[in-house]
Structure 1
């Protein structure tokens, strides 16, 4: 795969960037100024200060931190918090903590963004139809978006770019036209207006929670790096930021014409002439749908990466189209749909959603700051630069977090609750994985090679399969789990002509597809190590077949059946996978904390696809064996024999 960041800036690339990357941040003018103004009397301090805060937030947070700094942290062209984590995870194990917090917060953001975007757009219809019930319309649109996910977005995605180009052009034109009526609003570029609002305006500091909404899509911007490359993102951001700022300043100019009043109309729609309202609302609704689509697709990618990194349960992942990176996760689709509908039914109005929005995503941004600072230190080896970036953005985002805490009793607890639940699942999964890995007993394979050769030729034992394949988690090629040897020799002796041991190693590069073959015992024992990127589907059945075909062509293995009657006719022998599914043994005396973790792990696991489905194995050629995990045997009581 070519590095996406070497792509030249092209018209097509810029159009793709507009359609995929800026949906979330691009629809923020629908609700940001409305949230800042609220029901307060319009004044110069409020309007100019609010716009000044928005301008400097988009400049310092979105432009400098994400577009300039964070986009440098590309993992072979891929972005996102888990891609950033894989770049540095081997340097410090504790970095998994901010990675998990950031990932959980981003998923929670994916639940609240579609409702607030779609609701803000649809509520514009109330200007024309004051008594229109918007909740059923919003739920219907959101449901339609989620129903379409299983078909993929290959066709729909082609119109995203032109529609978002129309959307941003509309934002810029409406804003510029409004500025002409009150050009003095451009004075808000002066950061002193922001200072005046935050320090001297009553309750002004807490308005940072509303201001923060203008940059909530910055994380999505980084996550979508792989779709069109760094140069296209940076160039298209110039156009996007210009249009956004024109619209924000235009809303400010319109608000200043209502100075002294309490404005009930959304200033975004206040910019539109009456004849254009229905058209503008329609374009806004389509833009909100595109923004929702981008967040949902980003959530699927996030879960796929987390699964490969053992930070999330092994859920079913589908690939509805041929586009690289486009996937569909049914369980997450259902989870997000239930969450979005629940948000709409609970808050009902976009104004109420604004009170809850932003708290979780602030945690994601702070997590990215921690990982980015560590990345910068590891890359440039200058601690001063990394420390300055860390301190500056921790102070900035800490201020946003503190201001957003004011939202907690007004609905912010909902997003934090969702993020906490998602984080709990991640915590259980990674801790259970560590417990199992730490206490899995590996043995030297060399010790069992003579016995394997004898069993292979022992005709007194019925042949189990010509080719017997086990999935092994043993990292060292000369080792194997004791449970596999137990399965071969003791569970039920399994005679085979060739024993294959397959190991999958998830690499830090996103799209690695490599393998290494070790002929441990000619004609008897073969080990294959697959090195697969954290964004590669683990279709082991297909990969294994391709490897075997290559080995046969090279003359390294003979897969012809060794039954005399079949061998004479060059019939290929049968292949059978044996999958060992572990369960928690009752013979355990675990510490209380580990016992609860393992119980929760297996409770979740019962609702998930089997190992067979996860590895993409052909179910007609798979045997599943249950094996107990005895983490610490209980102390057996002494039994006294009597005569």
Structure 2
């Protein structure tokens, strides 16, 4: 834990790690932004100055002010990202789950588009040296290798990322700086007049604005990776990164200025590679490819974190999560890894060139930005910021991002449709999982547990009933210790009565803080019925088997409970009794009273559940000690059914 805290302090190691983890996406955008702004048109002075002005103000308002200055304040015990932000504000209003889900889905969709566009843009630089070289197989090979190595953990590679990205940013600054030195007048593009003039006077300005948006696409990662690097390291390293980016963009502007009247030939004249002297080109392409792989890696690990949080917040089906290294926050989600890989390969095969992917790319992240703006404004309200400041924040950023959104929507037929489709599929999974849970909870019936104290005590001592287990454990969703699901009592008393020496009720509460690990023990009937409430943060792995064992060992050590077997022959030798977990699996009975939409939701939910981890695996229970009992979700009562008896 100390190591994690140290990284959060401002330090040279923290700054270097920030460079390696956070800026891959935003740092590789110079590979394709200016190429996208110019497009197929002839290079003109107003496009160059206006484009540079738009880039400067987008990076300043969108990345620096919104993310680095404002959004980084919304840290949840040191953690960032859209679900951490949602955890901070979710008690304010129920509808906030929707911007959180949309933002999460579009961020995942972005995870399928970032690797193809960055790696393609880097490899396409080879066309300058080897015209007509087929780049698609190379890109597919690099991306496949990237996804294969995920399962081994990236802690070793991660340490190398910082210095490599430092080389990348410094290279960009030098390449751009040389050109700016030749023509310093290009710096007048900082004047916002040129941006306004370009967008108001130029035909097709929406397409240009959509291309400009690509310069800020990695801004969300600054916030998502807050937990890895700490606020001060991000803020200080951003000064260096922004300087390098702007120098490179300005340098590209100077090169374009020298080639006015020409057009950019597809793949050959990328202004980014045009800055490089011929002898340096192969080195430049190699460094660009490494930077693209690092950008992709950051996006993939970000997706893993996002899914693990969504699982804990009950917004995604339970999936297998591995922890390949001891490093904090290092995790690997096999199912998501291969879904992302498949998505990336589909993107490459559909669009083939980085230029064709630009339309799909901007739209996804634009929607994430909009959702973050909504959630941050609620957070600022919660923190008692003056209303006029919150209104100003909302007006400024909803205006900027809505304008970008309209611009990106103009690329709907040029790839934007893919993002909408992808995000829609992911959203349907999240929405169904969350809605099905609400429907299920509506039909869960709770009873007062106190009413059952006498019968549980007597059943435990009743030797005429065969003993089911020495220690019998049920997972309960009842939030209050005074209540219990009627189905658990039905399982103990009626569905083959289950006699046990001690009955345990285990409840898991997912907390809004990321790394909480606490528990409460309630002895409802001394040495007969015990309830344990685990309070676990939304980033904590829910290994209930292990945690339960730890608590029981603690209770035994303190003499609060006796788990020695009550069988005379075993008790004599102080042998510990057996433990058995009972998991109640809800199934949808045929005679349900759900309306058409609810029935569709539940059908979709059961399909998803078929592919997800079962409850017992999700909680890390030892399967040899688990009994799964199926219980109908809705039991139709006989009250409203009329049946006439015919007497013969």
Q: Per-residue deviation at 1:131?
A: 2.1
**Are the equivalent residues in 2 in contact too, given 1:178–1:253 (CA < 8 A)?**
yes
CA distance, structure 2, for counterparts of residue 255 and residue 18 of structure 1 = 29
Match in the other structure for 2:249: 248
Counterpart Cα distance in 2 of 1:21 and 1:632: 54
CA contact 2:360–2:415 (8 Å) conserved in 1: yes
| C-alpha separation in 1, matches of 2:597 and 2:334 | 31
Question: In structure 2, what is the Cα distance between the partners aligned to 1:407 and 1:592?
Answer: 36
| Aligned-pair CA distance for 1:638 | 3.2
3-state SS, counterpart of residue 536 of structure 2:
strand
Matching residue of 2:500? 496
Residue of structure 1 in register with 2:585 after alignment: 581
Q: Distance in 2 between matches of 1:638 and 1:487?
A: 29
Q: Distance in 2 between matches of 1:598 and 1:281?
A: 51
Q: 1:406 to 1:586 in 2, by over 3 A?
A: same
Match of 1:563 in 2: 567
Q: Cα offset for 1:132?
A: 1.2
For 1:486, which of 483, 490, 510 is the aligned residue?
490
Q: How far does the alpha carbon of each residue in 1:304-349 deviate from its partner, in whole angstroms, 9 at most, with x for none?
A: 1111111111111111111111111111111101100000000001
User: What is aligned with 2:453?
Assistant: 449
Partner of 1:30: 31
Which whole-Å CA distance do the structure 2 matches of 1:624 and 1:34 have between them? 58
In structure 2, stretches of 5+ residues that fail to align are none
The equivalent of 1:614 in structure 2 is 618
Alpha carbons of structure 1 residues 521 and 285: separation in structure 2 relative to 1, 3 Å: same
**Does the 8 Å CA contact 2:318/2:618 hold for their aligned counterparts?**
yes
Rate the CA distance shift 1:50–1:633 in 2: closer, same or farther, 3 A.
farther
Alpha-carbon distance between aligned partners in 2 of 1:295 and 1:516, rounded to the nearest angstrom:
38
- 1:634 positional shift: 9.3
Which residue of the partner structure matches residue 16 of structure 1?
Answer: 17
Equivalent in the alignment of 1:188 = 189
Q: Which sits farther off after the overlay, 50-59 or 587-596? A: 587-596
Residue 631 of structure 1: how far off its partner (Å): 6.7
Q: Deviations over 1:475-508 (max 9, x none)?
A: 0111111111111111111110000000000000
Task: Decide whether the 8 Å contact of 2:317 with 2:613 is kept in 1.
Answer: no
Q: Tell me, what secondary structure is at the counterpart of 1:355? A: helix
Deviation at 1:411, TM superposition (A): 1.1
2:472 partner SS = strand
Question: Is contact 1:216–1:361 with CA below 8 Å preserved after alignment?
Answer: yes
CA contact (8 A) 1:444 1:478 kept: yes
Distance 1:413 1:5 in 2: 44
Question: Separation in 2 of the partners of 1:343 and 1:495?
Answer: 58
- Give the Cα separation in 1 of the matches to 2:257 and 2:205: 18
Pairing 1:398-437 to 2, within 5 Å after superposition: 398-437=402-441
Structure 1 residues without counterparts, runs of 5 or longer: none
Q: Distance in 2 between matches of 1:97 and 1:28?
A: 29
Say whether 1:60 aligns with 2:61.
yes
**In 1: Cα distance, 2:346 partner to 2:495 partner:** 49
Q: Distance in 2 between matches of 1:437 and 1:5?
A: 43
2:384 & 2:33 partners in 1: Cα distance? 37
How far apart are the structure 1 equivalents of 2:491 and 2:230?
48
SS of 2:318's equivalent in the other structure is: coil
**Equivalent position of 1:160 in the other structure:** 161
Residue 527, structure 1, aligned to residue 531, structure 2: yes
SS at match of 1:357: helix
Q: What SS does the corresponding residue of 1:528 show, helix, strand or coil?
A: strand
Matched, 1:605 2:632: no
Paired residues in the alignment total 643
**2:634 pairs with one of 630, 635, 638:** 630
Distance 1:6 1:343 in 2: 36
Give the conservation status (yes or no) of the 8 Å contact 1:587–1:633: no
Tell me the distance in 2 between the aligned counterparts of 1:183 and 1:155. Answer: 42
Alpha-carbon contact 1:122-1:138 (below 8 Å) kept: yes
Give the alignment of 1:292-307 within 5 angstroms: 292-307=296-311
Q: Deviations over 1:249-300 (max 9, x none)?
A: 0000111110111122100000000000000000000110000000000001
Q: Partners in 1 of 2:126 and 2:473 — Cα distance?
A: 62
User: Residue deviations 1:127-171, cap 9 Å, x none?
Assistant: 111121110110011000111111110111110001001100111
Alignment of 1:532-551 (within 5 A): 532-551=536-555
Distance 1:8 1:412, change over 3 A: same
SS in structure 1 at match of 2:378: helix
Q: Which residue of structure 1 aligns with residue 476 of structure 2?
A: 472
Deviations 1:547-599 (A, max 9, x none): 01110111100111111111111111111111111111111021111111111
For normalisation by structure 2, the TM-score amounts to 0.98
Per the alignment, in what secondary structure is the counterpart of residue 188 of structure 2? helix
Deviations 1:409-438 (A, max 9, x none): 111000111001111111111111111112
Residue 381 of structure 1 and its aligned partner are, at CA, apart by 4.1
Tell me the residue number matched to 2:198.
197
Contact residue 108 and residue 303 of structure 2 kept, 8 A = yes
Q: How far 1:7 moved relative to its partner?
A: 3.2
Aligned residue in 1 for 2:293:
289
CA RMSD of aligned residues (A): 1.3
C-alpha separation in 2, matches of 1:633 and 1:398: 52
Instruction: Quote the residue 1:459 is aligned against.
Output: 463
Counterpart of 1:211 in structure 2 is 212
Q: In structure 2, what is the equivalent of residue 348 of structure 1? A: 352
3-state SS, counterpart of residue 574 of structure 2: coil
Deviation of the 1:640 alpha carbon: 2.8
SS in 2 for 1:54: helix
Does the CA-based 8 Å contact 1:589-1:633 persist in structure 2? no
2:465 alignment partner, SS class: coil
Q: Does the 8 Å contact 1:5/1:229 carry over to 2? A: no
- Pairwise CA distance, 1:603: 1.2
Asked if structure 1 preserves the Cα contact closer than 8 Å seen for 2:207 and 2:411, the reply is no
Single out whichever of 589-598 and 528-537 deviates more from structure 2: 589-598
Match of 1:505 in 2: 509
Aligned to 1:332: 336
Contact 1:590 1:631 in 2 (8 A): no
Aligned equivalents of 1:381 and 1:434: distance in 2? Answer: 33
User: Contact between 1:588 and 1:634, CA under 8 Å: does it hold in 2?
Assistant: no
Structure 2 contact 206–410 (Cα < 8 Å) conserved: no
- In the TM superposition, residue 361 of structure 1 has moved relative to its aligned partner by 1.1
Q: CA deviation at 1:357?
A: 1.5
CA contact (8 A) 1:590 1:632 kept: no
